Amino acid sequence: MTHWSSRILAARLKVSPSAIQRAWRSYGVKPWKAESFRFSTDPELVGKVTDICGLYLAPPDNAIVLCVDEKSQIQALDRTVPILPMQEGRIERRSHDYYRHGTTTLFAALDIATGQVTGALKPRHRHQEFLAFLKQIERAYRHVLDENRVPVELHLVMDNYAAHKHAAVKVWLEENPRFKVHFTPTHASWMNLVEVWFSIVERQAIRRGVFKSVKDLNNKIRTYVDGWNERSHPFVWTKTAEEILKKANHPTTSNPRH
């Protein structure tokens, strides 16, 4: 057995199902639930967590913190029949089957202090597209100066995707020292706040959408980003490095109560 029900376990132990259910409630056991987890094996885990939390909680003066990433393989899905809209007493209904018209990739740089997003839509997500997006960020913030009329530093929070560490990207970053890169620990891309924004885009602009083509999908995402920037708000990080690292310690798998 890989999953015991109360009735099957009761028959095996020759007790009543209610006795099994009482025991589960007493010990807080929920065998019908399961979660996944993954520990970061990054040898620089402590340093990276401390660096990024410090960047979020106490940003450097005269600098902008940008969380950068790409949301790839966004599908342009079109339903086989028109959606039946919500009516009084009825929820929205849509056909189970759909047409696939292709995919797009959304590149985004989230300014955590304002919530403003610099975005780009591209057909692929190789280092070439990522480098082009970095150049777009440079143009977008080229004229942002500090009180001494000096361009402010741009601190980029990024994950460890191969395109972000490509040789051509490294060369460009070295030629543009205004950009300071901060990598999240491996298997910890959730520390990049742009992932929160991507989840908002998914819920509000993509998941229930109908798109006749990739061009239609791109146009609707651009419209959403424009609307977002009109009502944007700061993204606030609250976890300290100590709180994260405490949870990152491998928990014991044994429990003497069982």
pLDDT tens by residue, 96-119 = 777 888 999 999 999 999 999 999
Task: Please list the ranges in the chain whose pLDDT falls under 70.
Answer: 37, 39, 248-258
Q: Note the pLDDT of residue 44.
A: 87
Q: Note the pLDDT of residue 258.
A: 44
Clarify whether residues 206 and 227 are in a common domain: yes
Clarify whether residues 12 and 97 are in a common domain: no
Question: For the chain, what is the domain count?
Answer: 2
Q: Note the pLDDT of residue 19.
A: 94
Q: Note the pLDDT of residue 152.
A: 86
d(CA 181, CA 249): 26
pTM: 0.82
Please report, for residues 44, 63, 118, 153, 215, the alpha-carbon distance to residue 139 in angstroms, rounded to integers and kept in the order given: 32, 16, 11, 13, 25
Clarify whether residues 163 and 98 are in a common domain: yes
Q: Note the pLDDT of residue 255.
A: 52
Clarify whether residues 97 and 31 are in a common domain: no
Q: Note the pLDDT of residue 106.
A: 97
Clarify whether residues 88 and 185 are in a common domain: yes
